[in-house]
């Protein structure tokens, strides 16, 4: 199994999901090979919940990284979950369109792979806001 998928699966055990019961783990690999992980953290006020992908990228950025190679996402159901729209936009703030996104399909199937550009075409950029 790919070590990035394994890292995403491992961090799921730390997810706080009392409402959805849908743990998600994410692992982002920097261009120099360092890996940062995140899990979803739900809140009774759903809008204050944190998604696994944004927790992982926040940890990487907090530690000075701005160049990313791959992201792996895994849910407890191993259902090929992809980052939601909000997470895709957050990723686009810090990663290029060619960021590889690996989505866990379970032990019997290889992960689905997309680029961030495929998942979020025509993203909102800083230049659009000027």
Rounded CA gap, 44 and 38, in Å? 19
pLDDT in tens, 57-79: 999 999 999 999 999 999 999 99
As a whole number, the mean pLDDT across the chain is 95
Average the pLDDT over 1-14 and give the result.
94
To 10 degrees, what angle do helices 52-62 and 85-94 make? Answer: 20
Rounded CA gap, 30 and 60, in Å? 8
1 pLDDT above the threshold of 90: no
pLDDT of residue 7: 98
Q: Which two tokens stand for residue 10?
A: 């491992």
pTM value surpassing 0.85: yes
Instruction: List beta partners, residue 100.
Output: 70, 115
Ramachandran area for residue 101 (φ above 0: left; ψ -120 to 50: alpha; else beta) = beta
Return the active site residues: 53
pLDDT in tens, 73-97: 999 999 999 999 999 999 999 999 9
Q: Which residues, 6+ apart, have CB-to-CB distance to 100 below 8 Å?
A: 69, 70, 71, 113, 114, 115
Phi, psi of 29 (to 5 degrees): -105, 130
Strands (DSSP E) contained in 11-63 are: 24-30, 35-39
């Amino acid at each position: 199994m790919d070590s990035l998928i394994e890292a995403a699966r491992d961090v799921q055990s730390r997810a706080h999901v009392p409402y959805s019961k849908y743990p998600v783990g994410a692992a982002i690999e920097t261009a120099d090979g360092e890996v940062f992980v995140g899990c979803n953290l739900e809140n009774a006020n759903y809008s204050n919940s944190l998604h696994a992908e944004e927790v992982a990228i926040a940890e990487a950025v907090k530690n000075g990284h701005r160049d990313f190679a791959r992201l792996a996402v895994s849910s407890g159901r191993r259902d090929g979950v992809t980052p939601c729209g909000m997470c895709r936009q957050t990723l686009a703030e810090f990663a290029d369109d060619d960021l590889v996104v690996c989505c866990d399909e379970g032990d019997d199937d290889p992960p689905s792979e997309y680029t961030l550009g495929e998942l979020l075409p025509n993203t909102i950029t800083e230049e659009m806001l000027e």
